[in-house]
Chain A
């Protein structure tokens, strides 16, 4: 997954070394590493397509997602209902198309909340050290010691159902990872000469943190955020599967799997198809994350 380019050493081309190495801009290099591999590109394509599906859901879905049609309930897949209908006669395909909205909104906004909060906390903990560091990091340890699903369950029960509350519940559960990552990076970066010299020049703590330290920690953070979006979508699916969180009739893929589970013997497509949608979106974000990691890996500098 990492550094494929390094793992298969090419025969050395002497002619290449006789001249000055061509100068590539960093951005160009990253793009060429990224698109040089099939999987990240596939991941990016999947996500772009799913975002388009989510935006244009009303145009793409053959039926309104919550339109009940009791006489036509539990239809097997047919030309009218490609993936059949559920126990209330709602079109499964339309609900899957609309479900992409729920997953994307939750995945992206949870990571936005948790990475911003986590980054600030991690930055503060590592930069100031001492008691502040210990207080923040012990809290993060405590968050990590909860199974995330149980924590989200507690917070979601506390706040009640609804999209925003689920976002907060999962957001709290996801703070620890970006916080620890940020903390680790800052601890190693803050000893570097350029940080010391910036401080010697009298830069304020706040400016130093955001202008000098944060940009250096950004690449690993970006990779982590991308991959965590997949994890959040899986966790949200788990919560909706347990029936906690997003209130019906809003279409959620996890909730659809749960509904379909009751009819698994006669209508397997009801439970199976939303799961495939979950897999697809998580696969997309994971591959994008892997691709970004390789593209942002400074060790690959000069290789391509």
Chain B
């Protein structure tokens, strides 16, 4: 088991290394020069070649690509994420400002979608054929077709514009004003969680229905086990295996959704920052954000792989 985890960790490091190389090259291959964008912003177009060179040195842009990559990596190991060209501040400051917002919304959406999606799926499967199953399945089928940003706009129209119950947009830290913060995150979190809830419901339901037909479930019934035990220990536990598999995908998906949702609701998280940073060719910011996201997805997948062993003892870690 330990050797398996070490091997998986090593694989995770390789994956993250590939991600860093891809993002490093892609962002530097973009046409245009980040300095031009920075200079346009600061109205300093009339710079002499020497002053430009000074700026390049300041942001480490004068070196060759491999050297820039080594600089970035060396910096990371010292806890230094580099300097944002566009904002002209330390990327760490940007990250500590924006990261908690996205993480807070994303973690809420993640937990809600896990709990509701699995609960709905299990209920549907146990009550299959009833009106409840039909209704929830239909809603789940519709839920996976709705673009999240569009749902956000509809929610704003209904709950803010028409009913006036919730503020249109913006974000306030829950530590500042918990009530106001909660009112503001209801809609974004709903949008982020909608697709994951619906797809987990569909997946859990069909997985449960597969398992219910298995011989070992019939055996459990004929042994005279209590229904609760059969459902909880035999059915749900086995039905969850394919569901757990998609959790890593879910993490990446919620991050992707935050790119859209943060721009709909005017929230200053890393999703919105990522869009802006790609457009401004803010090298270090794009690199930092993708690196952080990739690390989280890799960790989520690692947890998934390890939890298989608990769910399905047939899986051996060799």
Contacts and interface: CB of A to CB of B under 8 A. Distances in A.
Contacts of B259: 147, 149-150, 153, 238, 242
A34 interface: no
Contacts of A147: 252-253, 255-256, 259, 293
B141 interface: yes
Contact of A145 (B202, B289, B298): B298
Interface stretch (B35-43, B203-211, B226-234): B203-211
B213 A6 contact: yes
A154 B18 contact: no
A59 interface: no
Given A264-B157, A264-B161, A238 B297 contact: no
Chain A interface size band reads 35 or more
A202 B228 CA distance: 55
A246 to B, nearest CB: 15
B22 A282 contact: no
A149 B145 contact: no
A1 B124 CA distance: 11
Interface string A146-168: 11111001110110100000000
B63 interface: no
Contact of A141 (B15, B142, B256, B286): B15
A133 B301 CA distance: 19
**Interface SS, B side:** helix
Interface string B189-226: 00000000000001001100110110000000000000
Nearest to B140: A1
Interface string B13-43: 0111011001100110111000000000000
B150 A275 contact: yes
Nearest to A268: B157
B213 A146 contact: no
B252 A7 contact: no
B147 A275 contact: yes
A127 interface: no
Contacts of A157: 30, 278-279
Given A146-B290, A264-B157, A275-B146, A138 B249 contact: no
Contacts of B248: 144
Contact of A257 (B19, B153, B294): B153
Contacts of A260: 153
A280 B259 CA distance: 24
A8 to B, nearest CB: 7
A142 interface: yes
Contacts of A92: none
Given A275-B150, A282-B144, A286-B144, A145 B293 contact: yes
B153 A145 contact: no
B284 interface: no
A3 B147 contact: no
Nearest to A254: B147
Contacts of B252: 144-148
The residue in B27, B145, B293, B294 that gathers the most chain A C-beta atoms within 10 A of its C-beta is B145
Given A238-B256, A242-B275, A271-B154, 18 more contacts: A1-B206, A3-B213, A7-B209, A138-B14, A142-B294, A146-B293, A146-B294, A149-B257, A150-B259, A153-B275, A153-B278, A230-B145, A241-B147, A242-B263, A257-B150, A272-B154, A275-B153, A286-B145
Interface of B: 11, 14-16, 18-19, 22-23, 26-27, 29-31, 128-129, 137, 141-142, 144-150, 153-154, 156-157, 161, 202, 205-206, 209-210, 212-213, 248-249, 252-253, 255-257, 259-260, 263-264, 274-275, 278-279, 286, 289-290, 293-294, 297-298, 301
- 4 closest A-B pairs by CB: A147-B256, A275-B150, A142-B18, A149-B256
8 contacts: A6-B213, A7-B129, A39-B141, A144-B297, A158-B29, A254-B147, A264-B156, A279-B146
Interface of A: 1-3, 6-8, 39, 138-139, 141-142, 144-150, 153-155, 157-158, 160, 230, 234, 237-238, 241-242, 254, 257, 260-261, 264-265, 268, 271-272, 275, 278-280, 282-283, 286-287
